[in-house]
Amino acid sequence: MAPLVRVMIRYERMFDVVVRNYSLIGETNGERWLLTLLDEKPTVFDVGFHEGSSTREVLKARPGAKVIAFDPSAFARGRYEKDFANDGRVTFRNIGLSDREGEVEFFDYENMCNSLVARKDMAAEATAKYKVPISTVDRYCRQEGIERINFLKIDAEGFDLNVLEGAREQLAAQAIDIFMFEFASGWASSKRYLWEVCDYFKPLPYRLYRLFNGFLSPLIYDTKIDSCCTLSTMYVGLSERRLTRGDIPIRHYDF
């Protein structure tokens, strides 16, 4: 029976990715489509710049965008200097964003899983550790006089909710139109959960959704989906003000 079980598991995983969209593949999971909802000249925060792929896609979809990219890693600084330093549309900040200011230890795995916490799923891999500065979305906006963020993209390897907690002032004022965060294995290492996101946003003027390619589906919390290691996916938040435009397809998709 073992071969049959393996086949069944493989097809179940395919179903999760293809039909239920538990996928981090930006080309197919709706991330590219989401960019078509932005204004023609949006202000974008790219939190978790890494090699700049998200910034590159934003500029492709919206050439008039202003992108402010954040990443504390040495690798990200090098990629910015190599690929974007001469692009006036992109500003790079070699810092991390979280829910407080200060300095913390950074775990550099020399891959896309660099984190502000040791990754349990990469315990066997050699890491470089160094101190990095961290700040918050709210403080940065106050310092730079930024009144509106059209799109806040967060890929903070498990610190995504911390970033949102550090944007409380902006969120309360609906100064962020759309945000998107990755729910993946990094959340296990940072010991955060999806139910915390739902609780955090209850008093705030936002609605939470799962991302699909071409539409959003309202997030209805269930403990079964609070497994970042097996059901990795992208979640989106929309301000109530942004929703009033009525141009975003919303479907109840209950697979």
Which pLDDT value is given to residue 14? 55
Q: Any alpha helices (H) in the chain, and if so which ranges?
A: 2-18, 31-35, 53-61, 74-83, 137-144, 160-165, 168-172, 186-190, 194-201, 240-243
Give per-residue pLDDT as tens, 7-60: 454 645 655 666 667 777 778 889 999 999 999 999 999 999 999 999 999 999
Distance CA 99, CA 119 (A): 19
What is the pTM for the complete model shown? 0.92
Both structure tokens of 165 = 């907690």
Evaluate whether residue 188 is within a structural domain.
yes
Evaluate whether residue 3 is within a structural domain.
no
Question: What is the domain count for the chain?
Answer: 1
Provide the CATH number for the domain around residue 50: 3.40.50.150
Evaluate whether residue 28 is within a structural domain.
yes
The series of mean pLDDT values per 10 residues for the chain, 255 residues long, is 56 58 80 96 96 96 98 92 96 96 85 71 69 96 97 94 98 98 89 96 98 96 88 95 96 82
Give per-residue pLDDT as tens, 123-132: 656 577 889 9
Share of the chain above pLDDT 90, in %: 70
Evaluate whether residue 17 is within a structural domain.
no
Distance CA 113, CA 87 (A): 26
